[in-house]
Structure 1
Amino acid sequence: MMINYSCINRLRTLRDIIRYTTTIFNKSGIFFGHGSDNAYDEAVYLILHSLNLTADNLDIFLDSNITENEIRKILHLISKRVDLRIPVSYLTEESLLQGYKFYINKNAIIPRSPISEIIQNCIYPWVKDPESITSILDLCTGSGCLAILSALSFQRSIVTATDISEKALKIAEKNINYYNLQDRIKIINSNLFDDIPISQYDIIICNPPYVNTQSLNNLPEEYLHEPIIALDGGEDGMSIIKNIKKVKIFLKREGILVLEIGNEYNNFIKHFQNINPTWITTANTENSIMLLHKEQIP
C-alpha cells in the first residue's frame, strides 16, 4: 500500500493525522501483537512518539496544527509500518512493558512476556516475602526487561541476566544502565547454563525460544523482523526447554522456576509427563507460564 503524500495539505491537525493513520492501518491488514492490539492505539503511539509528545498531552494538542515536515516524517513511518510490516517498537526503538520503557532494536525480540505481570506482583502468593529474595537468574534475557523488572520488584536481590546473543546483551546493558541497575544486574553471555558459574538462586526466570516449526513458518510478517534465534524452538517447540533440566542444580532448596512456553502446552505435556507444575494465569494467557518448586523438577 503506497502512502499518498499528496494528502499533506489536507492533514492539518494532530486529530487529522491520527484519523488518517488509523484508517490506513485498518485497511492495510497489518498484524498487531507487539504492544497494542488495534489500529487506533498503534497510530496514537507512533504519532506521539514521532512528535515527542506523551499520551498525557493527547487531549491538549488534538487540534494543534502539525508542520509539513512533521507530517512527512509521520507518513514515512506509516509507510515502513504498512509496506515493510516493521513492528512499531522497532520503528521507534522503544517498547513499553508494565509501564516501563525499554530500548529495543532488531537484535532482540520486542518485550511482551506475560511473565512481566507475574514479576510485577512479586510472584505472589508463591513468594510471600519479597525482601527474602536475594538472588535471581534470568535465562534468555534478550532486552533485559524481565531482569530489570525483577530487580525493581525484589529490591534486595542481585540479578544475573544471560543470553546466547552478544547483540541482545548490548541492548540489555543499555536498558540496565538507563535504570541505573548496573550494580545489581550482572550480564553473562551463555548458552543456557554453559558459562554460568555454579551458584544457587531463589528464583530462576526463563522465557526461551519456544515457537514450533509449523507455527514459525506461519507467523505474521511482523515477527520475521525479530531474531529467529529468539523464537525458534525446533520441530515441537521443546528443543531449548528440554535442555533446562540443569535448573535444579542452580536453585536453592526453596527455590522456584518460572518458565514460559507460549502455546506449546500440549507438546510440553508430551515431553514432561512426570512433571505437575502450577500453571499461572495472567490477564491474557492460560497454560503458558508454569511455576515449579525445586523438588518438582526431576
Structure 2
Amino acid sequence: MKKCMLNEAVNDLRTIGDMLRWSVSCFAAADLHYGHGTDNPWDEAIQLIFPTLYLPLEISDIVFSARLTYSERQSIVDRVEHRINDHIPVAYLTNKAWFCGYEFYVDERVLIPRSPIAELITQKFSGILNKEPECVLDMCTGSGCIAIVCALVFPHATVDAVDISRDALAVANKNIDMYDLKKRVTPIYSDLFDELPIKQYDLIVTNPPYVDVDIIKELPKEYHHEPILGFLGGDHGLTLLFRILNNVAQYLNINGILVCEVGNSMNALITSNPDIPFNWIELDNGGGGVFFLTRNQIINMKNKEKIIEN
C-alpha cells in the first residue's frame, strides 16, 4: 500500500472525486482480480465508495465535488486497504451486491451474485417459457437473489428457495424480508431434493456448485473468501448436477422447464453425455454454460438411460 500512501489519503483527499480518483489508481496498481460484479478499477471504486457513503450507485457527477468528513475518508481508506491487502471482494466489505438491477445483502456466508441467468430472468425466460409460471423452484438459492427476482418479475408466482446451508438461508431470509416477499418466497433447508416434499413446478432454476476440486485450488485469492460449499461440484464439477438431473422430472409439471447453469463444466458435461440434447442458451451479456431441458426431454433421457451418474 506504499504507492497509495494511506495517511496522505485521509489527510489530503477531501472530496468524493478526489477519493474516487485515488481509489481507481490504487486498484489499477494492485494485483487484484475482478469478477464479483465488476471488471475494472473504476466500477470497483464506485461500488466501494458510494455504498460506504450510503449513496446510490446512480447519482449525478455533481456530487464528486462534495467534501467528505474525516470519518468518511477514513472509512473509505480502510476498505480500500482491505480490498488490496486482503483481496476481499468489495461486496463483502460493503455487504451490498446487485443482481438484475436489484440490491441484495451479502456476506461471507454466501457467494456474491453474478449468474448469467440474470439475463434470462429480466427477459422473463422469453423463448423458453410458454406462459408465466405460477410455481417456481430455485435450487441452491444462496443469497436468494434468483428466487427473489423471479418473484419480482412474476408477481403472481410463488417461489421455493432451497439450500443445504442454513447460513445461506439466513442471508436469503434477510433479503426476502428486505423485499417484503415472505408470503411468496419460502426458504427451505434441503440437500438438493432429499428433504423437499414432492410437488410440481412450472419452472426450476438452478445454479449448483460446479467447480472441479482441482480448479478451486487455482482460483484467485478473492474467491477464497467465498464459501467453498458454493463452488465444490465434485469430480469434473458435475456430481451435484447429475443428482439434480436424476431427480428433477418428478418435480416438474407436464410442461415444466429446468434451467441450469454449469459454467466452465459445460465441456465436461457435453463430453460425458454426448447424446443428451441440452438446449444451450446464447446470452447477449456474456457468460455461458446455461442450458434448459423440458420435463419430457429429461424423462426420455432417463428412459434411455442416457444420464451418466458420474
Correspondence 1:219-258 to 2 at 5 A: 219-244=219-244, 245-258=246-259
Gap runs ≥5 in structure 1 = none
Which residue number in structure 2 is paired with residue 99 of structure 1?
101
Secondary structure (helix, strand or coil) at the match of 2:237 reads coil
Which residue number in structure 1 is paired with residue 163 of structure 2?
163
Secondary structure (helix, strand or coil) at the match of 1:204 reads strand
Which residue number in structure 2 is paired with residue 109 of structure 1?
111
Which residue number in structure 1 is paired with residue 308 of structure 2?
none
Aligned mate of 2:16, from 11, 14, 33: 14
Which residue number in structure 1 is paired with residue 295 of structure 2?
294
Correspondence 1:169-248 to 2 at 5 A: 169-244=169-244, 245-248=246-249
The answer as to whether partners of 1:95 and 1:104 remain within 8 angstroms in 2 is yes
* Paired amino acid for 1:291: F
1:50 and 1:140 mapped to 2: Cα distance?
30
* Paired amino acid for 1:278: N
Aligned mate of 2:28, from 26, 29, 33: 26
Q: How far has the Cα of 1:280 moved from its partner?
A: 1.0
Correspondence 1:24-63 to 2 at 5 A: 24-63=26-65
Which residue number in structure 2 is paired with residue 267 of structure 1?
268
Q: How far has the Cα of 1:95 moved from its partner?
A: 0.4
How many residues end up aligned between the 2 structures? 296
1:255 and 1:52 mapped to 2: Cα distance?
42
* Paired amino acid for 1:183: K
Secondary structure (helix, strand or coil) at the match of 2:255 reads strand
Secondary structure (helix, strand or coil) at the match of 2:239 reads coil
Q: How far has the Cα of 1:10 moved from its partner?
A: 2.1
2:60 and 2:93 mapped to 1: Cα distance?
20
2:122 and 2:172 mapped to 1: Cα distance?
19
Which residue number in structure 2 is paired with residue 136 of structure 1?
136
* Paired amino acid for 1:170: A
1:270 and 1:67 mapped to 2: Cα distance?
58
* Paired amino acid for 2:222: E
Gap runs ≥5 in structure 2 = 302-310
* Paired amino acid for 2:111: I
1:187 and 1:112 mapped to 2: Cα distance?
20
* Paired amino acid for 1:42: E
Q: How far has the Cα of 1:119 moved from its partner?
A: 1.2
The answer as to whether partners of 1:279 and 1:286 remain within 8 angstroms in 2 is no
Q: Deviation digits for residues 229-284 of structure 1, max 9, x if unmatched?
A: 10011231111111111001111111000000011111111232231121112234
The answer as to whether partners of 1:163 and 1:169 remain within 8 angstroms in 2 is yes
Secondary structure (helix, strand or coil) at the match of 2:292 reads strand
Between 196-205 and 2-11, report the one with greater CA deviation.
2-11
1:290 and 1:184 mapped to 2: Cα distance?
26
Q: How far has the Cα of 1:177 moved from its partner?
A: 1.0
Q: How far has the Cα of 1:286 moved from its partner?
A: 5.4
Q: TM-score, normalised by structure 1?
A: 0.96
Between 2-11 and 229-238, report the one with greater CA deviation.
2-11
Q: How far has the Cα of 1:221 moved from its partner?
A: 0.5
The answer as to whether partners of 1:280 and 1:286 remain within 8 angstroms in 2 is no
Q: How far has the Cα of 1:287 moved from its partner?
A: 4.4
The answer as to whether partners of 2:20 and 2:45 remain within 8 angstroms in 1 is yes
The answer as to whether partners of 1:263 and 1:288 remain within 8 angstroms in 2 is yes
Q: Deviation digits for residues 129-169 of structure 1, max 9, x if unmatched?
A: 22xx1111110000000001111122221111100000000
* Paired amino acid for 1:281: E
Between 8-17 and 241-250, report the one with greater CA deviation.
8-17
The answer as to whether partners of 2:51 and 2:96 remain within 8 angstroms in 1 is no
Percentage identity across paired residues of the two chains:
40
Between 3-12 and 222-231, report the one with greater CA deviation.
3-12
Which residue number in structure 2 is paired with residue 281 of structure 1?
282
Between 9-18 and 79-88, report the one with greater CA deviation.
9-18
Secondary structure (helix, strand or coil) at the match of 1:240 reads helix
